[in-house]
Structure 1
C-alpha cells in the first residue's frame, strides 16, 4: 500500500495487496489486572484534512473495550460508527520492522491523544505487539479529569494481543 505524495483530488488509495486484512478482527490482552478488547476493521475513509485535496484511503479503525476483573466495563466505544472511531490508521512503516501506525484521540477524556504501533509477533499472524505512546501536551482546568489521580488510562502502553 505504498503511496505517492501527489494524490489527485478524490483519488482512492486502495489496499490492493490486502495488507490490512490480517489485522482485522477482535484482539484481546491483559494489562494492569484489566482485559483489553479491540476490534480492527478496514474501511474506505474520506480524508479531507487538506481541504484543497481530499481523497479516499483504506485504513484500519479500532473500537475498544476495557473490563476489570469483576466484569465492570471501564471504557467502551464499540458502538461508535466506523467513520467516527477514536483509533484510526495512518500508514505502514517498514524500518526497522513492518508495523502499522494508528492515531488515537479521545474527546471524552480531555482530548488525550497518542500514536499506536501494531506488528505481528509471529508469522502465524495470531498475536500482535501493541505499543501506545501518549502525545497529549496539555490538560486544561476545563477537563473533567483535570486533578483526577490517577488520571484515566484507557489504553495499555505495551501489550501482546491474541486474535479471538
Structure 2
C-alpha cells in the first residue's frame, strides 16, 4: 500500500511539472515560462524543403527547415516554439556563388519564422540582416501549391556609422527585394 502511495505521489508531482502546450500562434506574451507553442495543425509543413527562383540574372536557392521545440527568449518571456529557418544561396549569371548561408547550422540562420497566418497560407519571418544587421527586415512566404511559394522581402532602413559598423563590413543586400517572387520546389 505504501508503494502505491509513493508511486501516486511521484506521478502527481511529475504531471504538475509537465510542460504546457499551446497552439502555434498563441501570443507569446500570454505564455507561461517554458511553455511550448506547437505546430498542432501542421501549418509549417508545406514550406519545408529546397526552393529555387531566378531574379535579376541571379539564381536564388532557399532551404527551409523546421526545428521543433526551439528555445526562445524575448525579454522576460522564455518559451519553446516550432519554427522555420531559411538558409540561402545566391549565384550570379555565371553560376558563381556570391553569397551563401547554406553551410551554417540551421539554428544560426538569420531568417526565422515569427508568426503564421493560416487563412492566408502565409508564414512571416524576421531577418536579422547581414553585417552590422544591414538589410534587417521581414520576409513573408506564401504557399501557392505543392510546388510553388511566393517570396516577399521588405528591408528596414539602417543608418550606418563607423561606430556601429566598421569599415570593410559587407553592406550589400543579397536577398531579392521584390514582392511575389515565385520559388519552385526542388
User: Is the pair's TM-score, using the shorter chain for normalization, greater than 0.5?
Assistant: yes
1:88–1:103 Cα contact (<8 Å) kept: yes
The runs of at least 4 consecutive aligned structure 1 residues that moved more than 4 Å come to none
The answer to whether 1:61 aligns with 2:85 is: yes
Structure 1 residue 102, shift from structure 2 partner? 0.3
Match of 1:132 among 149, 153, 167: 153
Runs of 5+ unmatched residues, structure 2? 1-23
TM-score, normalisation: structure 2: 0.76
| SS of aligned partner of 1:54 | strand
| SS of aligned partner of 1:40 | strand
Paired residues, number? 156
Structure 1 residue 145, shift from structure 2 partner? 5.7
Match of 2:172 among 121, 145, 152: 152
TM-score, normalisation: structure 1: 0.86
Match of 1:23 among 28, 33, 47: 47
User: Which is higher, the Rg of structure 1 or of structure 2?
Assistant: 2
Q: Which has the higher contact order (CA 8 A, sep 6+)?
A: 1
Runs of 5+ unmatched residues, structure 1? none
> Which residue number corresponds to residue 9 of structure 1?
33
> Which residue number corresponds to residue 117 of structure 2?
93
Q: Give the structure with the higher percent helix.
A: 2
